[in-house]
Amino acid sequence: MIEEGKRPGEFLISEGEGAISRDSVTLKKRAALYEAGTILGRESSTGLFKAFDPAATDGTQTAVGVLLDNVDASAANRQAVAITRLAEVDGSLLVGDVAAAKDDLAASHVIVR
């Protein structure tokens, strides 16, 4: 049996026309792969995006988007695409603390279903 990983944007139920829901972001270097569907926060001091952490105090305690595709940032900070507004997403396909991120994402009109 072949186990398939998450596909780019698999978590998307709907998004705004064109590229209105998407932004280019810079992910902070880390050892682990960023998976498609990772809930993202943004560091206040650097402006870099990394995995949302509701217990953090560096800005990443606020969810600001969802990573569209798998990204390997193990060697350096990497450019990526995130869904940051005007979209509906499937919460069961997101990576991170969905319950804690739901209200933050809704403030940007990213609705978790």
Q: What is the pTM of this model?
A: 0.94
- Domain covering 12-112: architecture: Beta Barrel (2.40)
Statement: residue 6 has pLDDT above 80: no
pLDDT of residue 2: 72
Exposure letters 63-96 (e unless 16+ CB within 10 A, then b): bbbbbbbbbebeeeebebbbbbbbbbbebebbbb
DSSP string, 99-112: HHHHHHHHHTTEEE
pLDDT tens digit string along 44-96? 999 999 999 999 999 999 999 999 999 999 999 999 999 999 999 999 999 99
Which H or E run includes 82? strand 78-83
pLDDT reported for residue 73: 98
Task: Provide the mean pLDDT of the chain.
Answer: 96
Q: Give the Cβ contact number of residue 112 at 10 Å.
A: 22
What pLDDT shows up at residue 7? 84
State yes or no: pLDDT of 39 exceeds 80: yes
